[in-house]
Amino acid sequence: MDQSCGQVILQGETGCPKQFTFDSVYYMDATSEQIYNEIVYPLVE
Protein backbone atom coordinates (compact mmCIF):
# COMPACT_ATOMS: atom_id res chain seq x y z
CA MET A 1 0.00 0.00 0.00
CA ASP A 2 1.24 3.45 -0.90
CA GLN A 3 -0.58 6.20 1.00
CA SER A 4 1.17 9.00 -0.89
CA CYS A 5 -0.55 8.09 -4.17
CA GLY A 6 -3.60 6.20 -2.84
CA GLN A 7 -2.66 2.82 -4.29
CA VAL A 8 -2.97 -0.75 -3.13
CA ILE A 9 -1.11 -3.48 -5.00
CA LEU A 10 -2.10 -7.09 -4.39
CA GLN A 11 -0.14 -10.14 -5.47
CA GLY A 12 -2.63 -12.74 -6.73
CA GLU A 13 -2.28 -16.52 -6.81
CA THR A 14 -1.30 -16.29 -10.48
CA GLY A 15 1.66 -14.12 -9.56
CA CYS A 16 0.34 -11.13 -11.48
CA PRO A 17 0.06 -8.02 -9.32
CA LYS A 18 -3.22 -6.12 -9.38
CA GLN A 19 -3.18 -2.40 -8.71
CA PHE A 20 -6.11 -0.44 -7.30
CA THR A 21 -6.17 3.35 -6.96
CA PHE A 22 -8.38 5.25 -4.52
CA ASP A 23 -8.80 8.88 -3.45
CA SER A 24 -7.03 7.87 -0.24
CA VAL A 25 -6.01 4.70 1.57
CA TYR A 26 -5.58 4.02 5.27
CA TYR A 27 -3.80 1.40 7.32
CA MET A 28 -5.88 -0.84 9.57
CA ASP A 29 -4.89 1.14 12.65
CA ALA A 30 -6.45 4.38 11.32
CA THR A 31 -9.17 5.73 13.58
CA SER A 32 -12.66 6.74 12.52
CA GLU A 33 -11.85 10.25 13.73
CA GLN A 34 -8.77 10.46 11.50
CA ILE A 35 -10.72 9.30 8.43
CA TYR A 36 -13.61 11.67 9.21
CA ASN A 37 -11.28 14.65 9.67
CA GLU A 38 -9.49 14.02 6.38
CA ILE A 39 -12.45 13.07 4.16
CA VAL A 40 -15.83 14.09 5.60
CA TYR A 41 -15.05 17.26 7.55
CA PRO A 42 -13.89 19.27 4.48
CA LEU A 43 -17.14 18.34 2.70
CA VAL A 44 -19.30 19.41 5.64
CA GLU A 45 -17.56 22.76 6.07
One digit per residue, the tens of pLDDT, for the chain of length 45 reads 878 788 888 987 888 899 899 888 898 999 999 999 999 999 998
By the 8 A CB rule, do 1 and 27 touch?
yes
Predicted TM-score (pTM) above 0.85: no
Would residue 2 count as lying in a domain?
Answer: no
Q: Give the DSSP H/E element, type plus range, for residue 32.
A: helix 32-35
Would residue 1 count as lying in a domain?
Answer: no
Would residue 23 count as lying in a domain?
Answer: yes
What domain count does the chain have?
A: 1
Q: For residue 26, with 0-12 CB atoms within 10 Å meaning exposed, 13-18 middle and 19 or more buried, which class applies? A: middle
By the 8 A CB rule, do 25 and 3 touch?
yes
Q: What residues make up the domain containing 18? A: 7-44
Backbone dihedral angles phi then psi of residue 9, each to the nearest 5 degrees: -120, 120
